[in-house]
Structure 1
Amino acid sequence: MEISTKMQAYQFKSYQGPAAFATVATPQPAADELLVAVMAVGLNPVDYKIQAGKMKPLMKAKLPLTMGNEFAGTVVAVGKQVTGIAVGDRVYGRPDHQHAGTLAEYLTVPATQVAKIPEKLSFTEAAALPLTGLTSYQVLHDVANLQPQERVLIQAGAGGIGVLAIQMAKRMGAFVATTASAENADFLRQLGADQVIDYRKTDFSQVLHDYDLVFDTLGGRALQDSFQILRPGGQVISISGVPTAALAESQQLGILKELMFAAASYPLQRRARAKQTKYQFLLMHPSGSQLKIISDWVTHDELHPVIAKVFPWEETGAAYDQLKAGHVRGKLIVQVQK
């Protein structure tokens, strides 16, 4: 396969500025990296949060920045230190922040951050899994250590995170409640939800009690009210709320960020202590080994991607417009190449 020295990428040049297609140099893989021809990309709210500058306290980026944080594609070159992955392999992944920018015809990524795509999945199906799948797995398995018979509330069950988190939590043997609109209730029960609360009519904090875990994907008032439904010793794990000092320390963001996050999260930490519960914030990390676990679940029909719509490459902007408008069931995918 002949690889052009130039490629198209979907970038923004300034925070809060518009994104557009640009011609840029095709990257070259380092010794431990792959060069991947990108076939499909899953879109996520974090993409436009980065574009708006809202993630600057957590990550540094050099502008212009290519958008996109997960991908599926074909390996077209490998670094000399790479083993176990060859040219022609179909892979998917969520790159680290230094390699972020998946809405491009090619990308480089450390080989340790990808997994081979299950044979049963297309590129568009595989692109719906890396970021949302890893986030869900790390919340439920790594941080919460969710156990059989425990009770978990997963906010926004029909969203990109929710549709995978529900399936994972059920696989782990938990009782799963979720919030969603009434029109999504039957669909979410088919995914494994035991109780679906219509957020338009019912306040979840008034009907749920003695829960072990809340997986918060919303932040704001929903996050504040989550502590009311927990048993003593329960925990709220958020991906949309306020970062904590512990996160700043684990990410080595420096003492100033630790102090800033400690102050910002103090009201939530105080609320958690008052209820004898715990509040944590997760910033997911890439992991090829965890993607292999997700691949095994897919292979054995224990996990299924949910795709709302596939957009062609030239309609990337329209795809983000729909994502920002909300109420998307599952994931929006951009098909970069055929």
Structure 2
Amino acid sequence: MKAFILDRYKKKSALRLGDMPAPEVRDHDVLVKIHAAALNLLDAKVRDGEFKLILPNRFPLVLGHDVAGVVVQVGSKVRRFKPGDEVYARPRDGRVGTLAAQIAIDETDVALKPRNLSMVEAASIPLVGLTAWQVLVERASLKKGQKVLIHAGSGGVGTFAIQLAKQLGATVATTTSTSNVDLVKNLGADVVIDYKKDDFSKLLSGYDVVLNSLDQATLEKSIGVLKPGSKLISISGPPDVAFAKSVGLNWFLQQVMRLLSLGIRRKAKRRGIDYSFVFMHAHGEQLSKITALIESGVIRPVVDRVFPFLETNEAMAYLETGRAKGKIVIEVE
């Protein structure tokens, strides 16, 4: 089958269009004919080798962490899906590869596609939707009446997280650039900080949760807007020892993660704030809950640009400009 292939880790390198063997369909797998696949910064970071210590991959590797398509075959023990089902998913680590014609996915990672979305729209959801869910619902236990700061509100995770936080009943602040102020307001943000004009740390205080997806400096400044007993949650690092244990890293790598996060954990603890790192994981059941929210009209996808499959490298280059509003999607079929 045709796929865009990574032969070795190399920063800013182009992916190679070539042929890969058809996926092996295990007993609990569904084989999906891919109609659309979305890009994420995670794809660029994997390509650059940033996660090679915690996400060991075998080459040649097909990138891609978001998919929407049609089930064409199921494994012998699959009970939840059948050929012809329209589905979407974030395949689990170690089995990614949506920049291709087909992919085999464990059925527990898959959900039925929202009926009110196109394949392109559906492909934009899984990774960012699950990230927002696992931060705000699972880790933060965000409740009605609480206040949350979501950084980079116009990005893929931000556009989804704003809508989810509003559905949970929170007051939402976000940071964005001047050109995206109207977008995040329309998504439900109550307080919008134009980072080109203002410093969020001087304008916000008394917050219960921060979702950080930006750099270390922003992470540290975010401590100042939180009240004691609150939660500082980062999806951009540094990873902590709890994460290392959760993914089964060895003792040495656990100590590496402990040292990497020591500075921010100490600064947060001095203010009575809990710091944690979230690296989202595949979860079909959570994705089904997200499907219900989308079908009810509570959450809508935000797609910036759609590229044809043969222009996947151009799409990757656009992703890395950081200018996308929402998600970048590859139309495969």
CA distance in 2 between partners of 1:205 and 1:108 (Å): 45
Is 2:239 the counterpart of 1:243?
yes
CA distance in 2 between partners of 1:13 and 1:319 (Å): 19
Is 2:289 the counterpart of 1:293?
yes
Is 2:265 the counterpart of 1:265?
no
Gaps of at least 5 residues in structure 1 are 1-6
Pairing 1:112-151 to 2, within 5 Å after superposition: 112-151=108-147
Pairing 1:192-231 to 2, within 5 Å after superposition: 192-231=188-227
Asked if the contact 1:219/1:238 (under 8 Å) is kept, the reply is no
1:142: how far off?
0.2
Q: Matched residue of 2:312: which SS?
A: helix
Asked if the contact 2:80/2:107 (under 8 Å) is kept, the reply is no
Is 2:101 the counterpart of 1:93?
no
1:73 maps to which of 69, 82, 86 = 69
TM-score with structure 2 length normalisation? 0.98
1:255 maps to which of 251, 267, 276 = 251
1:28: how far off?
2.5
CA distance in 2 between partners of 1:27 and 1:246 (Å): 33
CA distance in 1 between partners of 2:223 and 2:274 (Å): 9
TM-score with structure 1 length normalisation? 0.97
The answer for the alignment partner of 2:9 in structure 1 is 15
Q: Matched residue of 1:48: which SS?
A: helix
CA distance in 2 between partners of 1:282 and 1:56 (Å): 17
CA distance in 1 between partners of 2:28 and 2:94 (Å): 14
Gaps of at least 5 residues in structure 2 are none
Q: State the identity %.
A: 39
Asked if the contact 2:55/2:94 (under 8 Å) is kept, the reply is no
Q: Matched residue of 1:25: which SS?
A: coil
Where do 4+ consecutive residues of structure 1 move more than 6 Å? none
1:60 maps to which of 34, 53, 56 = 56
Asked if the contact 2:176/2:195 (under 8 Å) is kept, the reply is yes
Residue by residue over 1:114-134, the C-alpha shift from the partner in whole angstroms, topping out at 9 and shown as x without a partner, is 101111111000000000000
CA distance in 2 between partners of 1:11 and 1:67 (Å): 7
CA distance in 2 between partners of 1:219 and 1:32 (Å): 39
Partner amino acid, structure 1, of 2:7: K
Pairing 1:11-50 to 2, within 5 Å after superposition: 11-16=5-10, 17-50=13-46
Asked if the contact 1:128/1:331 (under 8 Å) is kept, the reply is yes
